[in-house]
Amino acid sequence: MMASFSKLINQFIPKGDAPDSENQLDALLGKSLKGRSVLIGQGGALSIIKDGWKYITPSKGAAYDKMVGIETGNDRGPQLYNLKEDLGEKNNLAAKYPEKVKELADLLMSIKLKPEEM
């Protein structure tokens, strides 16, 4: 949202801040139906969603939290899900589509390393 709000109020975002933010002002104002090209998720394992595919980075930690009865998303290997066919993320396709894993892992890394430019 930072890039959208900075565009709205015509303010500069310092280089390196909000590297995954995309200007979505036209979509927010109803001038466009196009949303984000990618979405980065954080709150456990880092993930990225693009074109209906979700890649979750390998991570340590328990895969299931017994205290609250939920899956954490942690796995020592990469995870890849086709959200168009598997919204519940039950079928990890990482072994079947290693090229998609590499594509999304590389994209996530490039976003993490990219300085913000406006």
Residue 40 has phi, psi (to 5 degrees) of -100, 135
Other C-beta atoms lying within 10 Å of the C-beta of residue 12: 9
* pLDDT tens digits along 92-115: 999 999 999 999 999 999 888 765
CATH number belonging to domain 2-113: 3.30.1120.10
Q: What is the pTM of this model?
A: 0.71
Residues 74, 61: Cα–Cα separation, whole Å: 6
Residues 81, 85: Cα–Cα separation, whole Å: 9
CB under 8 A, 24+ apart: contacts of 65-72 = 72/44, 72/45
* pLDDT tens digits along 1-24: 888 889 989 988 888 788 778 888
Q: Is residue 79 very low, low, confident or very high in pLDDT (cuts 50, 70, 90)?
A: very high
Domain boundaries, the chain: 2-113
Residue 113 in tokens: 């390393």
